[in-house]
Chain A
Amino acid sequence: MDEASLHHADDDLLAEFGQVLREQTGQDAVCDDRIPGYRLERELHRGGQGVVLAAYQQTTKRNVAIKLLLDGALASDADRARFVREIELAAQLRHPSIVTVHESGKTQQGRQYISMELVDGSRFDAFVEEHFHADGLPTEAQCREIVRLYLAVCDAIEYAHRRGVIHRDIKPGNVMVTDDGRPVVLDFGIAKAAGSERGTTKTGDFLGTLSYAAPEQLGGSPDLIDTRADVYALGVMLYEALTGTRPSGGQDLSIAEAIRNVTQNDARRASSINPAVSRDLDAVLRKALERNPAQRYQTAGQLRDELKRAISGQPVRAREHERAYLARKYVVRHRVGILVGAGLLSLVLIASGFGVQSMIKARQASRFADVAGSLVTPIAGIDFETATPVEEVRDLEGLLDQISVDVGERLDRYPRYEAPLRSTIGLAYLGMRKLEKAEHELREALRLWQSIPRANPVALASAHHDLGRVLWWRAEYDEAELEYRQALRIRSSHLGPEHIETARSIHHLAATLQGKGAFNESEHLWLEAIRIRRKVLPADHADIPNTLVGYGSFLHEVGRHREASDLYAEALGQISEISGEQDWRTARTAHGLGICLIDLGEYQAARTLLDQAIAVKLVHGDEPDTIRTRVAIAQLDLLEEHDLGNALASVSACVERLEARFGLEHPNTGEALVLEARLLLALDRPEDAEASARLAMAAFESRWSDRSWRMGQALGVLAQSLIEQGRAQEAVEPAARSRAILMDVRDAGDRVRRESEDRATRLGLLSPTRP
């Protein structure tokens, strides 16, 4: 075309667009709207909920972006109130990669608007397209660059999550990259406040939004959506940036389908689309894109840290189950570290000139022990006693394995050196909840101490105590009891009956006896531990409320819920004072109080506490502790008949994780199984409920006193499931046993007892006239 006809064609196009744009304008009339104090300049973006305009704020003389919500985005007064609250929260966020919200208000025509920092730059996807996709898919180096850029996005989301703000609508359109390469996340909290864009029929964002939504966002109620939905969306965006494609595959799952499909994950490996994507990044993406939120990274911070590891050649947790992989990583990364750490220790020794085994003298052994000790000590520096397992520690498992082997080879004739090392290694394993390995090391340590003539009795006592701890974790309460009694006897006679270490053993022995159902002595010991700790420790020492929590769990266990909740409340006050609101100890105590309140029927308060607890615990990863809170929340859901399908999915996932960690025959698993059975009953699936109840009973029977009230509960659920299958005759025996146990337990939750009575009545075990 020559210039004149081109010009003419432009005008035709202009006219055509003019008509279309005028029609569109006529529809929403946003263009005539005004905001006092601002000059609205031009449209930057138009989406399902609103229009973003560039504007000039006259008072502050700055350019800003104005988001105008279209009519209908906020349907009810409640929506509007929530919107304002969310905006207030978002306005408090201060992070270099989060857009600054200046203010919000109403336009002349009554539309809600938000005024925020005008970010000069391009949309994330356009930026990536321009910088990294220009010559085909990104290269390996470019992938690393994209990830590096992306770390800031993850960091921003993590920052917001820690302040209780979930984004809920992370997508390329909501992330800008400034001209100097800084990503900025937009629209915090707005998605939630203004309702999802799903179902809006305006052109544009509908489709984009859906592709980044996590399965649980598509499947069910908005209550399901937590920080992990944001993690999912972060995964989708990064996947797209690295491969130019969105992870395909099913996302539109109902809850029921989701339960069936949790194990499936059909996102194609990113590396199959772009071979420059490393296997580590592949694994990280897959974990971020897990359908089941419980399997995903739990926080944006975890994702960020993993991405960091992936681009710096450190082992990623997403692949930690691949043993060969870990070994390789260590060899590559710790060439020097390993040299000192393990086989290398032997090299050091041999290289120091004594090729002949017999010549390795005690002095060298001692040197070896020093080196090995100095390696292990930093790991042991973590507070394993009260143990929040630390994320970083896990990657060290391989290193510990090596050290363990080497210690055995090099020091086997020097028990004095080997014993403390074994203890340290064992405690490190215990901190990682690698129970089998921990038990092995700690048994070995104890054996060594016992083999040493005139060994330091205090050290021997610690060896007993430490072995007791791992046995307690494995719910081997009888054996744990023996070890703790030994430790207590030695500590009491060598350190004194009121020594702090003695109190520690008393505390642990009390917990053990509680575990096996020896409630009388357990209570006596709990009170003794509290007495000693109060006497010898400063008033604000964390061990005091710690013991209160232990006794609280005892009271709860034996059904004295009111006393338990009072004690927990006291401990919660002290702990949050000492450790702060965000500390995991505070969270654990909030959990304890929460589950007491459940049994007292105070559901609302319980939910508040459990929500608090889970928020903090999630930051600490998917530990058994977190799972217990999840289970408790699911229990609340059951009692309040709140989205049972989801509660079931959550509990079933918990059972799986508990089984993986503790085995099926463990009371922790049993507890979750009982709840699973109850949910199945509520969902009218008595056959499945029966199976879960029987598994739960097996769990309790194997290690617990069969008179515990949990066993009573399991029996009750079993009886109920049999009744509902029309097998009343078979139900008689478990119902009778259940009732006998529950009647025996002093004020076991009224509800549980009432259920048991009802059942007994229906089966003719009781006369219906009984009050």
Chain B
Amino acid sequence: MLDLTRTTTALLQGLHDVDNAEAWASFYGRYVPIMIGVARRLGLSEADAQDAAQETLATFVKEYRENKYDRDRGRLRSWLLTILRTRVAGQYRARAVRKEQQGVTFVGGVPDEKTTSDAWDVERRRTILLQAIDELRKVSKTSDQSVHIFEMLARDNRSAQDVADELGLTAQDVYRAKSRVAQRLREVVTKIESVYDAEE
């Protein structure tokens, strides 16, 4: 289950301990998916985005352990984004070099702060929503179909009646499931948001 027991601040303290794999893993689980998404939005391929995100995290942890990260001087996300932007720029450069070798001029610069920051917001929300629905699935009993119902309604844009017919339920059942899931999702999302907000 998603580790919601510790705030990011606590995780950051854990990162000081080289041996604390769990803090590292939690941190990874929290921020790498966001950074992959951001890098993708900035035009990197999936594989390049993964590399950039992981390198960013590694750099961050290293700098953090060297006490270069100062909470008062900037928020965690801007710290991470600064590193990530450099990484993305590095990827751009590499791509440019490849293109130039092929005789094509490639003009690319370091993505600006506003663009990356906006991308972060979108990706953070996306990551949290996915985590929330995962979380809900995990705590549901096998026989509980309500998350599935919610997904059918949300993803496939189907009508309640349509879903009810397929599952052999009444539309009323479907509505009830939908609002129950929505209610719980809101709770979980709020909880996850607060975990992120504590540091960002």
Quick one: which of A6-34 are within 8 Å of B by CB? Answer: 6-7, 9-10, 13-18, 20-25
- A125 contacts which chain B residues (CB < 8 A)? 1
A125 (CB) vs chain B CBs: closest residue: B1
Q: Are B137 and A203 in contact, with the CB atoms below 8 A?
A: no
Give the interface segment out of A37-45, A432-440, A524-532.
A37-45
- Across the interface, B137 reaches (CB within 8 A) one of A15, A17, A24, A44, namely A44
Q: Are A118 and B185 in contact, with the CB atoms below 8 A?
A: no
The answer to whether the Cβ of A103 comes within 8 Å of any Cβ in the partner chain is no
Quick one: which of A113-140 are within 8 Å of B by CB? Answer: 118-123, 125-126, 129
Q: Are A203 and B20 in contact, with the CB atoms below 8 A?
A: no
Quick one: which of B23-40 are within 8 Å of A by CB? Answer: 24-26, 28-29, 32-33, 36
Given A14-B178, A206-B25, A245-B5, also A122-B139 (CB < 8 A)? yes
Tell me, in angstroms, the Cα distance from A122 to B138 when the chains sit together.
Answer: 8
- Across the interface, B179 reaches (CB within 8 A) one of A10, A22, A43, A207, namely A10
Tell me, in angstroms, the Cα distance from A21 to B154 when the chains sit together.
Answer: 8
Q: Are A252 and B20 in contact, with the CB atoms below 8 A?
A: yes
Q: Are A120 and B143 in contact, with the CB atoms below 8 A?
A: yes
B19 (CB) vs chain A CBs: closest residue: A250
- B143 contacts which chain A residues (CB < 8 A)? 120
Tell me, in angstroms, the Cα distance from A9 to B145 when the chains sit together.
Answer: 22
- Across the interface, A46 reaches (CB within 8 A) one of B22, B24, B134, B141, namely B134
Q: Give the Cβ gap from B3 to chain A, nearest Cβ, in Å.
A: 6
B126 (CB) vs chain A CBs: closest residue: A20
The answer to whether the Cβ of B71 comes within 8 Å of any Cβ in the partner chain is no
Given A42-B148, A46-B134, A210-B22, also A17-B33 (CB < 8 A)? no
Q: Give the Cβ gap from B196 to chain A, nearest Cβ, in Å.
A: 14
Q: Are A201 and B33 in contact, with the CB atoms below 8 A?
A: yes
- B148 contacts which chain A residues (CB < 8 A)? 41-43
- Across the interface, B155 reaches (CB within 8 A) one of A18, A119, A120, A245, namely A18
Given A25-B155, A206-B28, also A42-B145 (CB < 8 A)? yes
Q: Give the Cβ gap from A318 to chain B, nearest Cβ, in Å.
A: 23
Tell me, in angstroms, the Cα distance from A21 to B125 when the chains sit together.
Answer: 13
The answer to whether the Cβ of A162 comes within 8 Å of any Cβ in the partner chain is no
Tell me, in angstroms, the Cα distance from A310 to B5 when the chains sit together.
Answer: 29
Interface flags for B149-185 (1: CB within 8 Å of A; 0: not) read: 0110111010000000000000000000011001001
Tell me, in angstroms, the Cα distance from A10 to B28 when the chains sit together.
Answer: 31
- B29 contacts which chain A residues (CB < 8 A)? 203, 206-207
Q: Are A208 and B154 in contact, with the CB atoms below 8 A?
A: no
The answer to whether the Cβ of B50 comes within 8 Å of any Cβ in the partner chain is yes
- Across the interface, B129 reaches (CB within 8 A) one of A20, A44, A207, A245, namely A20
Q: Are B145 and A121 in contact, with the CB atoms below 8 A?
A: no
Tell me, in angstroms, the Cα distance from A33 to B18 when the chains sit together.
Answer: 43
Quick one: which of A703-735 are within 8 Å of B by CB? Answer: none
Q: Are B130 and A208 in contact, with the CB atoms below 8 A?
A: no
Q: Give the Cβ gap from B64 to chain A, nearest Cβ, in Å.
A: 16
Q: Are A43 and B137 in contact, with the CB atoms below 8 A?
A: yes
The answer to whether the Cβ of A313 comes within 8 Å of any Cβ in the partner chain is no
The answer to whether the Cβ of A57 comes within 8 Å of any Cβ in the partner chain is no
Q: Are B22 and A248 in contact, with the CB atoms below 8 A?
A: yes
Q: Are A210 and B154 in contact, with the CB atoms below 8 A?
A: no
- A9 contacts which chain B residues (CB < 8 A)? 182, 186
Quick one: which of B18-72 are within 8 Å of A by CB? Answer: 18-22, 24-26, 28-29, 32-33, 36, 50, 53-54
Tell me, in angstroms, the Cα distance from A45 to B24 when the chains sit together.
Answer: 24
Q: Are A251 and B129 in contact, with the CB atoms below 8 A?
A: no
Quick one: which of A233-262 are within 8 Å of B by CB? Answer: 245-246, 248-253, 257
Q: Give the Cβ gap from A649 to chain B, nearest Cβ, in Å.
A: 17
- A119 contacts which chain B residues (CB < 8 A)? 142
- Across the interface, A248 reaches (CB within 8 A) one of B20, B33, B129, namely B20
Q: Are B179 and A6 in contact, with the CB atoms below 8 A?
A: yes
Tell me, in angstroms, the Cα distance from A176 to B24 when the chains sit together.
Answer: 27
Q: Are A203 and B138 in contact, with the CB atoms below 8 A?
A: no
The answer to whether the Cβ of B127 comes within 8 Å of any Cβ in the partner chain is yes
Q: Give the Cβ gap from B169 to chain A, nearest Cβ, in Å.
A: 13
Given A17-B154, A251-B21, also A204-B53 (CB < 8 A)? no
Given A18-B155, A21-B155, A253-B19, also A45-B126 (CB < 8 A)? no
B179 (CB) vs chain A CBs: closest residue: A10
Tell me, in angstroms, the Cα distance from A207 to B54 when the chains sit together.
Answer: 15
- B54 contacts which chain A residues (CB < 8 A)? 201
Given A46-B137, A211-B25, also A201-B32 (CB < 8 A)? yes
Given A206-B29, A245-B5, A251-B19, also A13-B142 (CB < 8 A)? no
- B32 contacts which chain A residues (CB < 8 A)? 201
- B50 contacts which chain A residues (CB < 8 A)? 201
- A251 contacts which chain B residues (CB < 8 A)? 19, 21-22
The answer to whether the Cβ of B17 comes within 8 Å of any Cβ in the partner chain is yes
- A249 contacts which chain B residues (CB < 8 A)? 19-20
Tell me, in angstroms, the Cα distance from A502 to B50 when the chains sit together.
Answer: 74
Q: Which of A14, A120, A176, A218 has the most CB of B within 10 A?
A: A14
The answer to whether the Cβ of B131 comes within 8 Å of any Cβ in the partner chain is yes
Tell me, in angstroms, the Cα distance from A635 to B170 when the chains sit together.
Answer: 69
Quick one: which of B85-135 are within 8 Å of A by CB? Answer: 125-127, 129-131, 133-134
4 interchain residue pairs of minimum CB distance: A250-B19, A252-B21, A207-B29, A42-B148
| 6 cross-chain CB contacts under 8 A | A9-B186, A25-B155, A41-B148, A126-B1, A201-B33, A252-B21
4 new A-B contacts at CB < 8 Å, known A45-B138, A54-B142, A201-B50: A43-B151, A122-B139, A126-B138, A211-B22
Q: Residues of B at under 8 Å CB distance from A?
A: 1-3, 5, 14, 17-22, 24-26, 28-29, 32-33, 36, 50, 53-54, 125-127, 129-131, 133-134, 137-143, 145, 148, 150-151, 153-155, 157, 178-179, 182, 185-186
